Amino acid sequence: MSELAFAGVVELARRVRAREVSAREVTDAFLARIDEHDGAIGSYLVVDHDGARARADQLDLEVAAGKDPGPLAGVPIGVKDVIVTEGLTTTAGSRILDGWVPPYDATAVARLRAAGAVILGKLNCDEFAMGSSNERSAWKPCTNPWDTSRVPGGSSGGSAAAVAAGLAAATLGTDTGGSIRQPAAFCGVVGLKPTYGRVSRWGAIAFASSLDQIGPMARSVGDAARVLEVIAGVDRRDSTSIDQPAPQLEPSLAAGVSGLRVGLPKEFFEGAALDGEVAAAVRAAADALAAAGATLKDVSLPHTKYALPAYYVVAPAEAASNLARYDGVRYGHRAPARELGDMYAQSRAQGFGPEVKRRIMIGTYALRAGYYDAYYKKAQQVRALIKRDFDQALEEVDVLLAPVAPTPAFGLGEKATPIDMYLADVFTLSCNLAGIPGLALPVGNASSGLPIGAQLLGRALDEATLVRAGAVIEAAFGTRRPPGPWGAP
Ligand code: GLN
């Protein structure tokens, strides 16, 4: 059973297509593991036992009839709860959407299904994807499969924990300021934040629309690449989706890094915030790239220190605007018309948790007449400088290598103030502000045993180079499997 759970996306699809195993056997193996282990982890908010089994049976009939269900044939996948799924409750981790059953699939989910995937259920996350630890979920905590006294990271904590614990072969997350890469690093899995516009945001519940991006989380670089190939590509329902075909990433997995220029941005390695073991592990990954033929170069991204203040103005401003639609009337709640006035006032107060309210207030303040120039406009100017830093650095080098987070996974309850929590994002935010792709992957373990992640950052639309370099790092450091009953062979 655990053999199937850790086999990975590419291998499971191969076996199902070759009729070595049925989609139903694979799905049942994952459902049984979820039933056994997720009580201790808390990665799922909804498990669709019946829907998953019915879909698996249907795929097995297709295979038996000689049809090829596609590149994700029979692969069980979990979906972050901020991504809508037809017929499957979707709450964005928030009480304000309690009980909402969307009438349609997000484009990314529709593409997964069309490629033969089996959707297992919806994954825990911080409310409206605002957070870095999954502790802001309105529903329940999610723990780190490596140490259940630690957070899995966030906001896509459930998506990372489920992959790490073998409770999904792959998952979808979203990354607005690090929410795919940071939980991937904390849980020892791979997370790929695509170029802004690479994957349609249709059906991704909006947090900050100019930053949000859906992407895959999986056990290996090859698995994440396979899922991205399926979900990427232009979608006329998202006007910001880029008019490019989905990338073909498989050839990049074996391309090697001979002659590749890898930049080490000095601002990411400076300062007391960076844990010594994290710094050493990322430098070891750089050495592995050099040993495989890459050249290393120190580069500078001088405006890095302004990414955090700029992000925490831009993201709340967009959130304040996006979240104005949740009046407690249209989604989730049903009430006679005469009660709607009261409900409006009440449910906005009761429906949003404290972090969401804080963001709405900060965002509304930043957009106010009289403050707009000082905050929002200034933040957008800083954003342009950050993007220019990346453009210039990525002329000198082909890809950048940096830490994902200053430390390995922190303890549940450890970050006492909002500012402490925001500081956990220092290294992930600039990637979203610049709109470029980022790939997080494991590069070792701390003395505590917790996994350490590194991120590769590349040019817009150049996920292929991230996969190239990521595959070489993975060959040197391997994939990870946590201790505990869910990780045991
Ligand atoms: N941690 C960041 C925030 O709280 C990023 C979240 C995300 O990427 N969705 O806004």
Q: Which tops the pLDDT comparison, 1 or 256?
A: 256
Confidence of residue 334 (pLDDT cuts 50, 70, 90): very low
The residue type found at 288 is A
For residue 271, is pLDDT > 80?
no
- Our mutation pick for probing the ligand 1 site, out of 176, 404, 429, counting the most ligand atoms within 8 A of Cβ, is 176
Q: Which atom in ligand 1 lies closest to the alpha carbon of residue 311?
A: 10
Mutate to test the pocket of ligand 1, among 156, 308, 425, 431 (most ligand atoms within 8 A of CB): 425
Q: 430 with 400: CB under 8 angstroms?
A: no
Residue 272 pLDDT: 74
Atom of ligand 1 nearest to the CA of 180: 8
User: Token pair 């992407």 is at which residue?
Assistant: 215
> How far is the centre of ligand 1, averaged over its atoms, from the C-alpha of 257 (Å)?
32
Give 2-263+397-486's CATH code, choosing from 3.40.50.150, 3.40.50.2300, 2.40.40.20, 3.90.1300.10. 3.90.1300.10
pLDDT band for position 348 (cuts 50, 70, 90)? low
Supply 234's token pair.
């232009």
**Amino acid identity of 127?**
E
Nearest CA to ligand 1 atom 5: 177
The share of the chain scoring above pLDDT 90, in percent, equals 92
DSSP reduced 3-state for 470: helix
Say if CB 455 and CB 439 are below 8 A apart: yes
pLDDT band at 333 (very low <50, low <70, confident <90, very high): very low
- Assess contact for 59 and 73: CB atoms under 8 A: yes
pLDDT of residue 427: 97
Question: How many angstroms separate the alpha carbon of residue 157 from the centre of ligand 1?
Answer: 11
pLDDT of residue 208: 98
Closest CA to 299 of 401, 383, 427: 401
Model confidence, pTM: 0.96
Q: Tell how far the Cα of 7 is from the centroid of ligand 1, in angstroms.
A: 30
- Ligand 1 nearest atom to the CA of residue 315, by list position: 10
- Residue 117 CA to ligand 1 center (angstroms) comes to 27
Residue 318 has pLDDT above 70, yes or no: yes
Count the helices and strands in the chain (H runs, E runs): 17, 11
pLDDT digits (tens, 9 = 90+) for 222-258: 999 999 999 999 999 999 999 999 999 999 999 999 9
Q: What local confidence, expressed as pLDDT, does residue 327 receive? A: 74
Query: What is the whole-number distance in angstroms between the Cα of residue 49 and the centre of ligand 1?
Result: 30
The string of DSSP letters for 136-184 reads: T-SS----BTTBTTB---SSSHHHHHHHHTTS-SEEEEE-SSSTTHHHH
Name the region of 34 (left: φ>0; alpha: ψ -120 to 50; beta: rest): alpha
Examine the pLDDT at 411 and tell me if it is beyond 50: yes
Residue range 78-93, pLDDT digits in tens: 999 999 999 999 999 9
**Predicted confidence (pLDDT) at residue 406 exceeds the cutoff of 70:** yes
Question: What confidence score (pLDDT) does residue 338 get?
Answer: 47
The protein residue with its alpha carbon nearest to ligand 1, atom 10, reads 130
Atom of ligand 1 nearest to the CA of 424: 1
Domain boundaries, the chain: 2-263+397-486
pLDDT of residue 349: 54
Predicted local distance difference test score (pLDDT) of residue 351: 86
Q: What's the one-letter identity of residue 97? A: L
Query: End-to-end alpha-carbon separation of the chain, Å?
Result: 9
The catalytic site residues sit at 80, 155, 179
Q: Which atom of ligand 1 is nearest to the CA of 176?
A: 8
Residues 146-159: tens digit of each pLDDT: 999 999 999 999 99
Mean pLDDT for 387-395 is 98
Cα 13 to middle of ligand 1, angstroms:
32
Residue 468 has pLDDT above 90, yes or no: yes
Confidence of residue 336 (pLDDT cuts 50, 70, 90): very low
Ligand 1: residues within 6 Å at CB?
Answer: 129-132, 155, 174-179, 207, 315, 425
